[in-house]
Amino acid sequence: MTHATLNRQPQPQTTDDSRFVRGLAQLNQIDGDAGEAVVARVGAIAPDFARYLVEFGFGDIYSRPGLGLREREIAVVAALAALGNAAPQLKVHLNAALNVGVTRDEILEVLMMMSLYAGFPAALNGLFAAQEVFDARDAAGN
Amino acid sequence: MTHATLNRQPQPQTTDDSRFVRGLAQLNQIDGDAGEAVVARVGAIAPDFARYLVEFGFGDIYSRPGLGLREREIAVVAALAALGNAAPQLKVHLNAALNVGVTRDEILEVLMMMSLYAGFPAALNGLFAAQEVFDARDAAGN
Amino acid sequence: MTHATLNRQPQPQTTDDSRFVRGLAQLNQIDGDAGEAVVARVGAIAPDFARYLVEFGFGDIYSRPGLGLREREIAVVAALAALGNAAPQLKVHLNAALNVGVTRDEILEVLMMMSLYAGFPAALNGLFAAQEVFDARDAAGN
Amino acid sequence: MTHATLNRQPQPQTTDDSRFVRGLAQLNQIDGDAGEAVVARVGAIAPDFARYLVEFGFGDIYSRPGLGLREREIAVVAALAALGNAAPQLKVHLNAALNVGVTRDEILEVLMMMSLYAGFPAALNGLFAAQEVFDARDAAGN
Amino acid sequence: MTHATLNRQPQPQTTDDSRFVRGLAQLNQIDGDAGEAVVARVGAIAPDFARYLVEFGFGDIYSRPGLGLREREIAVVAALAALGNAAPQLKVHLNAALNVGVTRDEILEVLMMMSLYAGFPAALNGLFAAQEVFDARDAAGN
Amino acid sequence: MTHATLNRQPQPQTTDDSRFVRGLAQLNQIDGDAGEAVVARVGAIAPDFARYLVEFGFGDIYSRPGLGLREREIAVVAALAALGNAAPQLKVHLNAALNVGVTRDEILEVLMMMSLYAGFPAALNGLFAAQEVFDARDAAGN
């Protein structure tokens, strides 16, 4: 059963979709196909939320020029590894980090350092996730 | 009451204190006086733990060359802001980030981005902490 | 191996089992078969704990009249989605919420709002869990 | 030192400020003066973020009609109490809940129930925060 | 304003108050005056919850003979230090641990070990809390 | 692809490997084969980190004589169950606890008690993990 009723909520239509356009471009630059896959998956259950993700997450925040994409993904990988409760998103961002130029060794350094701030389990689970991501990319020839 | 008994535990004395020396140098470079203050405060209750902090935290992890100090502090600020339960340490690292060349604007960008990964409260509390740190540095002429 | 020894602990037997009876009735009303399944699963390893769950969780807390069951399940779904580390229980309560009259759209609204308080990963993982629960109910004709 | 440079970031200006206007109205309805105080405090350090809070938090999410404000604040109070690491925001929302018609007894019920999902410390700290909020409102004649 | 209405909820009165009596005795044995103070503080805002704390927390769980009080308090201190978001309760249990015979050095060992499982900030904040508790007891001649 | 480059980082070689030797012995005593498996798995992606785990985790912390191994594992099981986001490590330590003499009933008591400090989901997920560990040991004749 679809939840099409959601997009019929009386929400004022914005005549300015620049946030969405900018966001989608940013999403593609960082996450490639994986990003569109998440948006599609979310859109299947909550279309408005997929839109917010693109507009606010990428149109408003990620496209801000005050911090480079390498630094952004380093920060996100660190935060998600430390929180330890968002494994799917951590993998998305491990890939995103590699996509924007963070090296595999740099990623491992970030994860190892999380042992100091969130403990060894958080760091270990992050390293195991990185291993899976690296192996998948190797298998796909990336 | 001191806890001097702790340093009389039958722990093999390492004949190689290079980790401690390297760690202390790294700690000073990053945290300056604030770092030594934390080590002293910890040492007053658990001397061995102060030593582990310097040796493992700074001698083993921070001094690794595979990731720059700017990136390290960006990662730590992100993680601690996301966790939201280590306010004293977040302030130490906000200062550390500034010390190693992360700009105030970059710090604010990292914290704002945490709204996406840990929610607005985490981002807000991080921004309020940053405000305190910036104000203190302004007052001290830094 | 059973752990039958647990129920031979010298624990005073209560002559008043009204909390258990009230709790079981409340559990059935809210969780139906799924609730009994959890109690049975817990009872297989720690019989006393299954009893506490029914007596305290449902007999003492859930049966209190000061807050309606719709509001209770909205609160629990929000909390578990925000915590992000109790996926099995989140699914139990997504079903419970539907059982006590919270609509699918209301559930999605609660989960989307968690993006503000615990970040997008928490909200996304909650939405994905809701999708699974809705699909299972559709497949079962509920 | 102000951070006025932030609002000079090359960010496309939206010609449609309906999200901000809608958000501010929603914020005032729910939080009254307290909401404006938070926005002002945030605006003093990161003006763009204050704008996002109003636009996304209140303009996009809170103003959605699919879930009533009473239910929204019940969900938020539950989540923040369970997370246990956002005391300032929990107090803001305890006040917001009262403002939108959740009774004091209902708030206490939500907090007591968090003992089941996040433990007694989370519930206790939530109850202590509620006590402070109730006392302050009593003192102010609310 | 009291919340006396809470104790007039239509809740079946148990004719068997052995759980409360057993709980109160256990609470006094472990926490002494500090325990009664918490119960009184909670009772001032939510009388039923104070009763649950005594009945379930101490009457059901703490009085179980399968695990000694020393081990129980070691487990609780570890958990609360790791969670890092319940500072008041951590201090209560640091005192409780000392009351039931865990030594100061053992407490410090537990806290130091939390650096491995929750990171150095959690361990440090736990050690600082322990310092406060030890100093207060020294000042009181305990 | 191996990450052999990691062990060529310009890190001063310690001439004193007593921490590693002591750590490995401690690891074997507590975790047996499971411990070596984790170290090997980590070593395959980040060799230095596997070394830190052995040296700091076991050589520095676990081998300290101020707290018995039974108490250490009780503390770790409690912390990991409370955190609820490190299921693989919780299982490792459930086995470790049994290895060092904590009984099955004692383990269940620790986990049940976590319902008070982290909520029923944390306790339940810990009990389910314990069930798996006990069953696996029964199947292997342990």
Question: What domains can be seen in chain D, in order of their start residue?
Answer: 3-61 (no CATH), 69-139 (1.20.1290.10)
Return d(Cα A80, Cα C41) in angstroms, integer: 32
Q: What is the pLDDT of residue E10?
A: 40
Greater confidence, D34 or E75? E75
Q: At residue A52, does pLDDT exceed 60? A: yes
The Cα–Cα gap between A68 and B79 comes to 18
| Nearest CA-CA partner of B56 in B6, B101, B22 | B22
Residue-level pLDDT at A35: 87
pLDDT at A9 over 60: no
Q: Give the whole-angstrom CA distance, residue E101 versus residue E97.
A: 6
pLDDT of the residue at C11: 45
CA distances from A54 to B49, D14, D21, D70 (A): 45, 16, 21, 28
Phi-psi region of D141 (alpha: psi -120 to 50; beta: other; left: phi over 0): left
Exposed / middle / buried, residue A47 (Cβ in 10 Å: 0-12, 13-18, 19+): middle
Q: How far is CA F67 from CA B6, F70, F110, in A?
A: 12, 8, 18
Q: Which residues on chain B are in Cβ contact (under 8 Å) with D85?
A: 83-85, 121-122
- CA quadruple B6, B7, B11, B17: dihedral positive or negative? positive
**How far is Cα A96 from Cα B58, in angstroms, rounded to an integer?**
28
Q: Find the radius of gyration of the CA atoms of chain E.
A: 17
* Candidate from D105, D112, D130 with C-beta closest to E5: D105
CA–CA separation, C110 vs C138, rounded Å? 21
Give every CB contact of residue C35 below 8 A, 6+ residues apart in sequence. C27, C28, C92, C96
Distance in angstroms (rounded) separating the CA atoms of residues D55 and D50: 9
Question: What integer pLDDT is reported at residue D41 of this predicted model?
Answer: 96
- Average pLDDT over chain D reads 90
Pick the residue from chain B with its C-alpha nearest to C117: B119
CA distances from B30 to A70, A134, B97, B126, C89 (A): 21, 31, 8, 20, 43
Of residues E15, E22, E48, nearest to C16 (C-beta)? E15
Q: Which residue of B has its CA nearest to D50?
A: B124
* Mean pLDDT of the residues in chain A: 90
Task: For the beta carbon of residue F15, count every other beta carbon within 10 angstroms.
Answer: 9
CB E66 within 8 A of CB E27: no
pLDDT above 50 for E113: yes
- Which amino acid, one-letter code, is at A135? D
Distance from CA of B68 to the nearest CA of E (A): 21
**Percent of chain C with pLDDT strictly greater than 90:** 83
User: What is the pLDDT confidence band of residue F16, given thresholds at 50, 70 and 90?
Assistant: low
Question: Which one of A103, A104, A124, A132 would you mutate to disrupt binding with F, by most F Cβ within 10 Å of its Cβ?
Answer: A124
**What percent of chain D shows pLDDT beyond 90?**
83
| Greater pLDDT, B6 or D56 | D56
How many Å apart are CA E39 and CA E57, to the nearest integer? 12
User: Measured between CA atoms, how close is E9 to chain F, in angstroms?
Assistant: 24
- Cα separation values, D44 from A60, D24, D37, D47, Å: 19, 17, 11, 6
Task: For A86-113, write each residue's pLDDT tens digit.
Answer: 999 999 999 999 999 999 999 999 999 9
For chain D, how long is the longest CA-to-CA vector?
A: 49
> Average pLDDT for residues D29-56, to the nearest whole number?
95
pLDDT score for C16:
61
pLDDT in the model for residue A142 = 81
**In 10 A of CB F33, how many CB atoms?**
9
- Is residue C14 over pLDDT 60? no
Provide, as residue numbers in chain B, all residues whose Cβ is less than 8 Å from the Cβ of A106: 66-67, 71
Q: Which residues contact D8 (CB under 8 A, 6 or more apart)?
A: none
Helix (H, G, I), strand (E, B) or coil at B51: helix
Mean pLDDT of A21-31: 95
pLDDT at position A7, please?
35
> pLDDT at position B16, please?
61
Q: Could you tell me which residues of chain B have a Cβ less than 8 Å from any Cβ in chain F? A: 6, 9-12, 14-16, 18-19, 22, 48, 52, 56, 60-61, 63-66
Per-residue model confidence as pLDDT tens digits over F98-124: 999 999 999 999 999 999 999 999 999
- Residue E4 predicted with pLDDT over 60: no
A49 → chain D, closest CA residue: D61
- For E68-97, what is the mean pLDDT? 98
Cβ atoms of F129 and F85 within 8 Å: the answer is no
Contacts of D17 (CB under 8 A, 6+ apart): none
Average pLDDT over residues E12-17: 57
Residue to substitute from C116, C124, C125, interface B, most B β-carbons within 10 A: C116
Mean pLDDT value of segment C17-31: 95
Residues in chain B closer than 8 A to E130 (CB atoms) = 45
The total number of residues written for chain E in this structure: 142
Q: Which residues of F touch D117 (CB under 8 A)?
A: 119-121
Residues A48, A6: contact at Cβ < 8 Å? yes
> In this predicted structure, what is the pLDDT of residue E34?
86
The model's pLDDT over F56-110, given as tens digits with 9 standing for 90+, comes to: 999 999 999 999 999 999 999 999 999 999 999 999 999 999 999 999 999 999 9
pLDDT of residue C32 exceeding 90, the answer is no
Q: Confidence band (pLDDT; 50, 70, 90) for B35? A: confident
pLDDT at D16 over 70: no
CA C48 to chain centre: 18
Question: Taking every pair of C-alpha atoms in chain B, what is the biggest distance, in angstroms?
Answer: 49
Q: Per residue in E25-73, pLDDT tens? A: 999 999 988 888 999 999 999 999 999 999 999 999 999 999 999 999 9
Facing residue for D82 by CB, picked from C61, C83, C105: C83
Q: In chain B, what residues touch E108 (CB-CB under 8 Å)?
A: 3, 6, 45-46, 49
Is the pLDDT at D8 greater than 50? The verdict is no
Q: Is the pLDDT of residue B45 over 90?
A: yes
Q: Give me the sign of the Cα torsion angle F24, F25, F31, F33.
A: positive
> Which percentage of chain A shows pLDDT scores above 90?
83
Mean pLDDT of B1-12: 38
Please tell me the least confidently modeled range out of A9-23, C66-80, D63-77, E33-47.
A9-23
Identify the pLDDT of residue E110.
98
Residue-wise pLDDT for C97-138, tens only, equals 999 999 999 999 999 999 999 999 999 999 999 999 999 999
